[in-house]
Structure 1
Amino acid sequence: MSDSHSSIKEWPEQMRPREKLLQYGAQSLSDSELLAIFLRTGVKGCSAVELANRLLVSFGGLNELLGANQQQFCEHLGLGPAKYAQLNAVLEMSKRFYRHQLESKVSMTSSNAVAQYLSHLMRELQYECFYVLYLDNQNQLISCDEVFRGTINAASVYPREIVREVIKYNAASVILSHNHPSGIATPSEADRRITQRIVDALALIDVTVLDHFIIGRDDPYSFADHGLL
């Protein structure tokens, strides 16, 4: 095995991140290998993969790196404003791609597609926010809006405002989603209470809550899949 401080060009071809991605697919790469491809080069005495490993340890993980603000990002060795701009352009393209995929689907009945889109939209956010996806009677997406920001509890999420937006869009059903920046995608008692309040409020106007996703570090949590709706 090659010395970790040697140039990646000196590594066996099957170990180089770019060649590995092209041969086996991006899903076969570790977080540090994916980040190394983004970085392209290391620093003196440190390969791109070695630098990627150091950055992931320093930030605490890939999600924390992706969610860092410009000041936090640029104070690390090997990073700067150009890399920050490049990274945020990639993230925004990813969000737009998944939104287009979602909007172009015949219906929103695929929970995997919805969860994937919401993960790309919310996973790297460092603050807690609440989104509502408004659907028509064919389960097609009308709009996806951030309706609240801050700690999600009964005092900060107002079902009447969601009802008002549902009426404005003439939506037939909705999907709720909020994120847990802590990374643990399990519902709190407050999450359960506010979900039930929204379900009850929308039932009065014959609008169904199809699901409520919680976005964390790992796979999204689906209220519907866990029998909570």
Structure 2
Amino acid sequence: MPEDCLPRERLESVGEKALSNQELLAILLRTGSKSVNVMEVASNFLNHFNHLHELKTATLTEMTEIKGIGRIKAIEMRAAIEFGYRIQQSTQIKYGKVSSSYQIAQNLINEMKDFQQEHLVCLYLNTKNEVIRRETIFKGSLNQSVAHPREIFRIAVKYSAARLILAHNHPSGNPTPSQSDIKFTERIKQCGEMMGIDVLDHIIVGDRGYISLREENFFLSE
């Protein structure tokens, strides 16, 4: 296997957190030069600066003084450093605060009333009940084989959600929950309890009205 590919292969197999600074930098640099391979260039680069913090202010001129770093690589490194800084400074996008099931339902009725298929939507909340993520989990008939808890909670873990709210539409226009709806909700709530993620509600919307399983006490056990 070519030496230039080793850091990339390792990232795929063990993840980026297991890689050294030299390996991560080698991936960004991509290639070495005629006289030194990419790992050596990465080593030269890191040794040129006393600390990673100095890279924030390293100039193009300073970078091109390093063996194996030309103008193009220096420009790419400056761009990568600035992009990393902007990511660090960014905040998580929030989509508003949930105050009631009624509020959510009214928005969903307007959006979903004309859907010809069932859409299962999940709202992911932080501890302040702010919606940090919204995902359409699937389209089709709601049953446990299609709407698997794995996908719902995979996203919850990815975005560090503390709570979630399920919602889906009934194309018939009648929001009355079926036995399948209730069993599915109970299963998701049990999974949430095991994972420490609160399932606050499951809202079913029709063409004019809605039913909140929390409000109707279908699955609450507080």
TM-score between both structures, scaled by the size of structure 2: 0.54
Q: 1:160 aligns to what SS in structure 2?
A: helix
The answer (yes or no) to whether the contact 1:160–1:201 under 8 Å persists in 2 is no
Aligned partner of 2:173 in structure 1 is 183
- Segments of structure 1 that go 5 or more residues without pairing to the other structure are 1-101
Aligned partner of 1:159 in structure 2 is 149
Q: 1:189-200 maps to which residues of 2 (within 5 A)?
A: 189-200=179-190
Aligned amino acid, residue 168 of structure 2: H
TM-score between both structures, scaled by the size of structure 1: 0.53
Deviation at 1:121, TM superposition (A): 2.1
Aligned partner of 1:133 in structure 2 is 123
Matched, 1:216 2:206: yes
Deviation at 1:117, TM superposition (A): 1.3
Q: 2:167 aligns to what SS in structure 1?
A: strand
- For this pair of structures, how many residues does the alignment match? 126
Q: Which one scores higher on RCO, CA 8 angstroms, separation ≥ 6?
A: 2
Separation in 2 of the partners of 1:188 and 1:154? Answer: 13
Q: 1:68-147 maps to which residues of 2 (within 5 A)?
A: 103-104=95-96, 107-147=97-137
Q: Which runs of 4+ in 1 moved over 4 A?
A: none
What do the CA deviations read for 1:138-197 (whole angstroms, capped 9, x no partner)?
000111110011111121110111111110110000010011101110110000111111
Aligned amino acid, residue 169 of structure 1: Y
Separation in 2 of the partners of 1:120 and 1:141? Answer: 19
Separation in 2 of the partners of 1:146 and 1:121? Answer: 13
* Greater Rg by CA: 2
Q: Percent same amino acid among aligned pairs?
A: 38
- Segments of structure 2 that go 5 or more residues without pairing to the other structure are 1-93
Please tell me the root mean square deviation across aligned C-alpha atoms, in Å.
Answer: 1.4
The answer (yes or no) to whether the contact 2:161–2:197 under 8 Å persists in 1 is yes
Deviation at 1:103, TM superposition (A): 2.9
What do the CA deviations read for 1:176-228 (whole angstroms, capped 9, x no partner)?
00111011101100001111111111111111111111111221110011012
